[in-house]
Amino acid sequence: MTPPHLFRHALSLVLCLSLASTAAHAVTAAERRVDTATAPHLALAQGGKPVTVHYAHLKDDYRASPGVKGHLDDLKQKVAFCIAANPRLGLPVRAPSEFPEQALRVHEFEYSAPNRRIVYAVVYKVRMADDCSLVEAEERNAVLSSAKGECTIDLVRKTAHGVCDARAHADAVAHPPAPGREQMEKTRAALEADPRLAERMAALRRVMGGPAPAGGPKRNIAGLACEMVQGAGGIHGCVSKAGSFIPTVGVEGVTLQRTVGKESSTAVEARLDMKTDPAIFAPYLKGGFTITAEQT
């Protein structure tokens, strides 16, 4: 027979779990700030000579993500255990009246020039405090990258680390884009037309087979055409190579949709050849930032 005190404890835990599972879901103030975050370039005064960039705002599609949903379910369970255990331990209890709609939200604002790229991220996270209440965090950071390296910037703590130079990588070397399918075919045709290479090229074509498909399926996202591509490590997405230039830092082109495992992000706004202040690449030069160089 179950001892009465164990039965009461089990009943209390079941009730707490039930309360946690039925607590209301609502978009919290912190979630809303992240979800309605404005693009960083909108806060810039046009002080310097404008630069041309490709811009994309990607918003998470995590509501159906098993990992993010599982994290929220786990959080509810932890809160339920906390509510049941803290009174027995003489600890305070501040049970949340509601849970957020998502345990993780991520917005990315990407600005690409021919030779450098900066990605701003606004992130919402939530965890449980010792008194069973919820602690919501809003992170804002950015990563500037080019052939020179990376500068990692925390916009809240005002710190920057890595290759964070005074010109914000404006003098970085721009790598030429990889040749497109049409150019590759022209080059191969020219090599095959050379009598000295005809036999070798014919053998190579026999080994490799006929021409590869021109590319993946096409989509239209945020008003721009893009092509589905498959990357390494199960990463795939839709990339645009339109505009007056093709960015070659990181992903070649402008990412309009990206899926990593079960989690996807999709552009809700995108613009090619947009004029903006060059300060968009140098948030750490505004003043008040602690900058540490990358150790060599």
Domain residue ranges in the chain: 4-49+57-173+274-293, 178-209
3-state secondary structure of 60: strand
What does the pLDDT look like over 135-167, one tens digit per residue?
A: 999 999 999 999 999 999 999 999 999 999 999
pLDDT of residue 7: 41
pTM > 0.85: yes or no: no
Residues 6+ apart with CB under 8 A from 252: 177, 178, 239, 241, 246
* 221-255 pLDDT tens trace: 999 999 998 876 678 899 999 999 999 998 889 99
The confidence band for 260, taking pLDDT boundaries of 50, 70 and 90, is confident
As a whole number of angstroms, the distance between CA 267 and CA 58 comes to 4
- Average pLDDT of the residues of the chain: 85
Give all strands of the β-sheet with 263-276 in edge-to-edge order. 218-221, 224-230, 235-240, 254-260, 263-276, 51-60, 104-112, 116-128, 134-146, 149-154, 159-162, 290-293
pLDDT at 23: 62
Mean pLDDT of 20-41: 82
